[in-house]
C-alpha cells in the first residue's frame, strides 16, 4: 500500500535516546538498581487541587463537548495568567487550547507554513521540531548556538541564514536541552530580524517558570512583536501535569481563528473535565509549582557541585529548565559510548545530546526530575565511572 510522502518526512533520525532507557529498564527488571535520567518526566505529583477538580467536574457530569478551541473558562484562565506574567492585555479570543504544547507547535506550523517554506531554529533544539515543521511541508534550517557561547543564539548567524522562503523562527526559552535562558538583548535582536524580514516568531515557553539565573522574557512583550508572535505553553513542566496533555497557544485573534479551525478538524477540543482542572491549576499556581522550582534548583546545584571536581567532565549549570548538560568530550569517548558505559556499568541512564543538534555533540542531557536521593546517587556513580575511565586512559 502507498503512504503520503509526508510520513517519510516527519520520521526523525532514529533517536538513540531509548537505547540507554532500555538498558536501565532491563536492569530494573533483573532487580538491579537503575536511575533513569533520560526522558523529561518528573517525580513530582500533579497538584492536589487539580486532581480534586477532575473528580468534582466528572461528578457534576461535565462530560460534554466544548468549543474546539477550548471552553471560555479555560481560555479566560490562560489569558489571565498570560496577562499576569507578561503585563500584556490578553483576551480569550487570542487563545486556543491544545493537546499539550506539542499539538500547539504543530498547529502553529500548519497555520504559518506553505510547502517549501523555511523555518529557522537555533540548535540544539527539542527533538520534535524538525518533524513538526516537516509535517506542515516546511524545511528546518538550524543555526548553531555554540557551547562556548553558553548555547545562546548568535543573532548575526541567524540573520545570515534568512532567505526568500524564510517564514518563521521557532525557539524555546528556556531551552531544551541546554537550559539557556535567552536574554532581553538576544530576544530584541531576534525580534528586530522578525520585523526586518517579516517573519513570525513561535516562542515555546514550556520551561518559562523554571528559571534559576537571569529572567524569562516573553518575546511577545517586545515592541511590535505581539502581532507576529505565537506564544506556546502548557501545564506539563511548570505544574507537573505532563500526562494531562493540557497546552495552548496565544497570538493575534486572526491566528487564533485559524488555529481554532484546525482544532475543529483535528482534536475537536480537549476533555471538558480536564479543562475545569486546568482552570483550577492556573488560578492556584499562576507561576507554576514553587516547590518544584525550588527542588530543581537545589538538585542542579548539588549535582553540578559534585561533578565540578571531576577531571574528565565539565558540568554546565543550566540557567533554566530541567536538564543539566554534561560535557564528556575530555573522556575521548563519544557521548553515546560514554552514556552506554555509564548505564551498563553503573546503571545510570542519561541521554546523549548529539541528536538535539551539532552544537551539543559530546554532551549528555541529564534530567533533574528524579528524587534528591537519586540525584546524589547518580552523581556518585558518575564520578566513580569517570574516575575509572580516567585511570584506564592514564594506564593505556
Beta bridge partners of 97: 248
Neighbours of 71 (CB within 10 A): 21
Work out the angle between the directed axes of helices 17-29 and 335-346 (0-180°, nearest 10): 10
Measured between alpha carbons, how far is 175 from 318 in angstroms, rounded to an integer?
Answer: 9
| Residue selected from 186, 204, 354, 355 as contacting ligand PMP according to rule CB under 6 A | 204
Whole-number Cα distances in Å, 314 to 39, 92, 329: 21, 46, 9
Whole-number Cα distances in Å, 59 to 54, 62, 266, 277, 278: 8, 8, 28, 13, 17
Peptide bond into 124 cis (omega under 30): yes
Residue 353 binds ligand PMP (CB under 6 A): no
Contact region with ligand PMP (CB under 6 A), list: 57-65, 80-88, 98-106, 367-375:
98-106
Residue 40 binds ligand PMP (CB under 6 A): yes
Neighbours of 227 (CB within 10 A): 12
Q: Which is nearer to ligand PMP, 71 or 124 (CB)?
A: 124
Q: Which is nearer to ligand PMP, 51 or 330 (CB)?
A: 51
Chain centre to alpha carbon of residue 95: 20
Residue 236 binds ligand PMP (CB under 6 A): yes
Residue 100 binds ligand PMP (CB under 6 A): yes
Report in angstroms how near the CB of residue 105 gets to ligand PMP at its nearest. Answer: 6
Residue 66 binds ligand PMP (CB under 6 A): no
Chain residue at closest Cβ approach to ligand PMP: 100
| Residue selected from 242, 249, 277, 326 as contacting ligand PMP according to rule CB under 6 A | 242
Beta bridge partners of 67: none
User: DSSP 3-state assignment of 51?
Assistant: helix
Residue 101 binds ligand PMP (CB under 6 A): yes
Residue 288 binds ligand PMP (CB under 6 A): no
Contact region with ligand PMP (CB under 6 A), list: 1-9, 97-105, 341-349, 357-365:
97-105
| Residue selected from 69, 113, 121, 126 as contacting ligand PMP according to rule CB under 6 A | 126
| Residue selected from 247, 260, 271, 362 as contacting ligand PMP according to rule CB under 6 A | 247
Contact region with ligand PMP (CB under 6 A), list: 76-84, 96-104, 162-170, 368-376:
96-104
Measured between alpha carbons, how far is 383 from 217 in angstroms, rounded to an integer?
Answer: 36
Q: Are 333 and 8 in contact (CB under 8 A)?
A: no
| Residue selected from 176, 328, 331, 350 as contacting ligand PMP according to rule CB under 6 A | 176
Q: Are 82 and 90 in contact (CB under 8 A)?
A: yes
Q: Which is nearer to ligand PMP, 230 or 333 (CB)?
A: 230
Q: Are 320 and 215 in contact (CB under 8 A)?
A: no
Q: Which is nearer to ligand PMP, 175 or 331 (CB)?
A: 175
Residues that bind ligand PMP (CB under 6 A): 40, 100-102, 126, 172, 176, 204, 206, 234, 236, 242, 247
Amino acid at each position: 500500500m502507498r503512504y503520503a510522502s509526508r510520513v517519510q518526512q516527519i520520521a526523525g533520525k532514529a533517536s538513540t535516546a531509548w537505547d540507554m532507557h532500555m538498558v536501565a529498564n532491563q536492569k530494573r527488571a533483573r532487580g538491579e538498581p537503575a536511575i533513569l535520567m533520560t526522558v523529561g518526566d518528573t517525580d513530582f505529583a500533579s497538584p492536589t487541587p487539580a486532581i480534586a477538580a477532575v473528580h468534582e467536574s466528572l461528578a457534576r457530569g461535565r462530560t460534554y463537548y466544548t468549543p474546539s478551541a477550548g471552553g471560555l473558562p479555560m481560555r479566560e484562565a490562560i489569558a489571565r495568567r498570560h496577562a499576569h506574567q507578561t503585563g500584556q492585555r490578553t483576551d480569550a479570543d487570542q487563545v486556543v487550547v491544545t493537546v499539550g504544547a506539542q499539538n500547539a507547535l504543530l498547529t502553529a506550523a500548519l497555520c504559518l507554513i506553505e510547502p517549501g517554506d523555511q523555518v529557522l531554529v537555533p540548535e540544539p533544539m527539542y527533538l520534535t521540531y524538525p518533524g513538526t515543521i516537516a509535517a506542515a511541508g516546511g524545511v528546518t534550517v538550524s543555526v548553531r548556538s555554540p557551547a562556548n557561547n553558553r548555547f545562546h543564539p548568535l543573532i548575526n548567524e541567524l540573520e545570515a541564514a534568512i532567505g526568500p522562503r524564510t517564514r518563521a523562527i521557532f525557539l524555546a526559552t528556556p531551552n531544551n536541552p541546554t537550559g539557556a535562558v535567552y536574554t532581553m538583548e538576544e530576544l530584541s535582536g531576534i525580534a528586530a530580524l522578525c520585523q526586518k524580514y517579516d517573519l513570525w516568531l513561535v516562542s515555546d515557553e514550556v520551561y518559562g517558570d523554571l528559571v534559576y539565573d537571569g529572567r524569562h522574557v516573553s518575546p511577545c512583550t517586545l515592541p511590535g512583536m505581539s502581532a507576529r508572535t505565537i506564544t506556546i505553553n502548557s501545564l506539563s513542566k511548570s505544574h507537573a501535569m505532563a500526562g494531562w496533555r493540557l497546552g495552548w497557544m496565544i497570538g493575534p485573534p486572526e491566528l487564533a481563528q485559524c488555529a481554532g479551525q484546525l482544532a475543529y478538524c483535528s482534536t475537536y477540543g480537549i476533555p471538558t473535565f480536564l479543562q475545569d482542572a486546568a482552570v483550577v491549576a492556573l488560578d492556584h499556581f499562576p507561576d507554576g509549582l514553587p516547590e518544584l522550582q525550588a527542588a530543581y534548583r537545589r538538585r542542579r546545584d548539588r549535582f553540578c557541585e559534585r561533578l565540578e571536581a571531576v577531571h574528565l567532565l565539565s558540568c554546565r549549570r543550566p540557567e533554566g529548565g530541567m536538564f543539566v548538560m554534561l560535557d564528556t568530550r575530555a573522556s575521548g569517548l563519544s557521548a553515546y559510548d560514554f552514556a552506554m558505559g555509564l548505564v551498563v556499568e553503573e546503571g545510570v541512564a542519561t541521554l546523549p545530546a548529539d541528536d538535539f543538534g551539532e552544537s551539543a555533540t559530546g554532551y549528555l542531557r541529564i534530567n533533574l526530575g528524579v528524587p534528591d536521593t537519586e540525584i546524589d546517587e547518580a552523581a556518585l556513580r558518575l564520578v566513580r565511572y569517570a574516575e575509572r575511565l580516567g585511570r584506564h586512559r592514564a594506564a593505556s
